[in-house]
Amino acid sequence: MDRETAEEIKRHVTEGLRELRTEMEQFGTGLRTEMEQFGTGLRTEMEEFRTELRTEIQEVRRHSDVVAESLRGEIRLVAEGVAGLDQKFTMEFVKVREEVGEVKTLLQVSYGDLGRRVQALEGRHPSG
């Protein structure tokens, strides 16, 4: 191979390497730009997701507060109902106690009368 051909090949290879380097630099620049855009888009999406998540959490909290308040009201009603029943049972128990006392008194009076009659009868008829 002669010198001129070698020089031509060398120049051709050098020129090809320069073009390849230029293309690689352009590719690298384009890749960096795409990666930056992707990163920016990803950050934006993440922030939107965080905002939506915070909003959902706040809505769930509000709903939970409403449910809890409703339950408190219902529990209050049940407690009032139980207190009312307790009062009714206490009153009924007092009434029953009074009635039992009255029956006891009537029984004592009746037994007293029966006792006197038995003694009177025993006095009229001597046993034995």
pLDDT at 121: 85
Both tokens assigned to 3: 């010198």
- Tokens 């009659």 appear where? 117
pLDDT at 127: 61
Residues 88-115 have pLDDT tens digits of: 999 999 999 999 999 999 999 888 888 8
Both tokens assigned to 26: 């352009």
How far CA 31 is from CA of 22, 28, 46, 70, 121, in Å, comes to 14, 5, 22, 58, 129
Q: DSSP alpha helices (H): ranges in the chain?
A: 3-124
**Phi-psi region for residue 126, left (φ > 0), alpha (ψ -120 to 50) or beta?**
beta
Residue 2 has φ and ψ, to the nearest 5°, of -90, 170
Task: Please report, as a single letter, which amino acid is at residue 126.
Answer: P
Q: Is the pLDDT of residue 15 over 60?
A: yes
Both tokens assigned to 14: 């050098």
- Does pTM surpass 0.75? no
pLDDT at 126: 63
CB proximity list for 95: less than 8 A, separation 6 or greater? none
